[in-house]
Amino acid sequence: MTMVSGISRTVVVFTLLTLSLFGAAIWSLSAGAVPVSWQIIANTLFDLDGPRQDYIILRSRLPRTLLALLSGGCLAISGTIVQALLRNPLASPKIIGINSGAALAVCLMVIALPDLPITYLPVAAVLGGCLAASLVWLGSEVGKVSPTRLVLIGIAVGFLFDAGVDYILVTSPSFKFSTPLVWLTGSLWARGWAHLGLVWHVLLLLAVTSVILSYRLDLIRLGDAHATGLGMNVPRERFVLLALAVLLAAISVSVVGVLGFVGLMAPHIARSLVGGSHPVLQPCAILTGMFLVVLADATGRALAPPVEISAGILTAMFGAPFFIFILITTGKAEQS
């Protein structure tokens, strides 16, 4: 009986999430500085007769919406993996240093290689994110430390890199950081098909692999001894999954900027909706992450046009109250 109601609850949750996501994505096509009617959106998308808005719909809002879906989903996957691997609800891509590493690499690029075109910003971000995460991982390997200590190493590495970012921002000409600062707040401004074209195949491949491997997170969560007992090569699996999480987050961050909070929130929101079994949790977290970022980007465009508010700011503004609400209510459930 419980199992049946569990399954039907899951089905309801997924249906509602998918519908909300679909609604948010459609709204994202209509939201922005220039009002475009539903009729014109339909004409443009489906090549119908009548007035169209080719640039705004096909070249601006559509690629942005797709990029928001992709990055939101990938950051959510990354967060779910990191939380399971570290057995720590505080964990997120940010906590293993990815955001800070990416940010420092971008700032260094602007200062040390001023002649390098700003279009290389994503490359620097991926390298920096991976470097920071490798440092955290190396630290944990050398010391053979517990997941809690790994989190602490991650926080320390994050602070180290953040100090570097602060140093550069304070001591360097601020006008040079016009573009990096927009990116640091997590924005999809001026993102288009070119950016989507660079990352979609890699991210999709990593995302699908992660979802397929997500059942292993359930084993790892049982503890190393149990997982090894069940025939799992724990260190190897942990490395593979961590590498997936790092790449997913670093590549997403490189295109859409530091949207760090999504990786923390989406898994928690999903867990409160469908429980902790990863084959179900992971897809639910993906839908949640997608929903949050699409909604934030569209709202950022619609709120005060022609001024655009960074998605990173709005993700936190939408997500944080909801996140706190979930923590309070699930906390009560755990106590009772």
Partner 1 sequence: MLSRRALLSIFTGLVFALPLQASGAEIAHEMGITAVPDAPQRIVVLEFSFIDALASVGVAPVGIADDNKRARIIPAYTDIIGDDWVSVGTRKTPSLEIIAALQPDLIIADKTRHAAAYDTLSEIAPTIVLDSLGGDYYASVAQMSVIGQALGKQNEMDARVAAHRATMAAYVDEIKTASSGVTAQFGVTNATGLWLHSPKSYNGSLLDMFGFSSNMSPTEGGVYQTNYVPTTLEQLSVVDPDILILGKYARPAFTDSWSGDALYDGLTAVKSGKVFQVTAHNWSRLRGMLAAEMTAQDMLEIIRMTSESN
- Binding residues for partner 1, rule: CB under 8 A, are 32-34, 44-47, 54-56, 58-61, 117-119, 121, 170, 172-176, 178-179, 181-182, 187, 189-194, 301, 305-308
Rounded CA gap, 191 and 295, in Å? 16
The nearer residue to partner 1, 121 or 133, going by C-beta atoms, is 121
Enter the DSSP assignment of 300: H
The nearer residue to partner 1, 46 or 335, going by C-beta atoms, is 46
The nearer residue to partner 1, 60 or 140, going by C-beta atoms, is 60
The nearer residue to partner 1, 4 or 194, going by C-beta atoms, is 194
In whole angstroms, how far apart are CA 202 and each of 64, 186, 192, 288? 18, 20, 17, 21
Under 8 Å between Cβ of 82 and 263: yes
Q: At its nearest, how many Å lie between partner 1 and the CB of residue 55?
A: 4
The nearer residue to partner 1, 50 or 306, going by C-beta atoms, is 306
The nearer residue to partner 1, 56 or 248, going by C-beta atoms, is 56
Under 8 Å between Cβ of 245 and 81: yes
Q: At its nearest, how many Å lie between partner 1 and the CB of residue 205?
A: 22
- Total number of residues shown for the chain: 336
Sort residue 258 into left (φ over 0), alpha (ψ -120 to 50) or beta.
beta
The nearer residue to partner 1, 115 or 334, going by C-beta atoms, is 115
Q: At its nearest, how many Å lie between partner 1 and the CB of residue 222?
A: 42
What are φ and ψ of residue 97, in 5° steps?
85, 0
Q: At its nearest, how many Å lie between partner 1 and the CB of residue 49?
A: 12
Q: Which residue has the tokens 């491997």?
A: 213
Q: At its nearest, how many Å lie between partner 1 and the CB of residue 56?
A: 5
Q: What is the dihedral of CA 242, 247, 253, 254, to 10 degrees?
A: 150
Q: At its nearest, how many Å lie between partner 1 and the CB of residue 119?
A: 6
The nearer residue to partner 1, 91 or 259, going by C-beta atoms, is 259
Q: At its nearest, how many Å lie between partner 1 and the CB of residue 318?
A: 20
What are φ and ψ of residue 304, in 5° steps?
-140, 55
Rounded CA gap, 7 and 23, in Å? 24
Q: What separation, in Å, do the N-terminal and C-terminal C-alpha atoms of the chain show?
A: 22
Rounded CA gap, 43 and 40, in Å? 5
Rounded CA gap, 17 and 329, in Å? 20
Rounded CA gap, 189 and 66, in Å? 13
Rounded CA gap, 234 and 216, in Å? 10
Residue 117: cis peptide before it, omega within 30 degrees of 0: no
The nearer residue to partner 1, 101 or 300, going by C-beta atoms, is 300
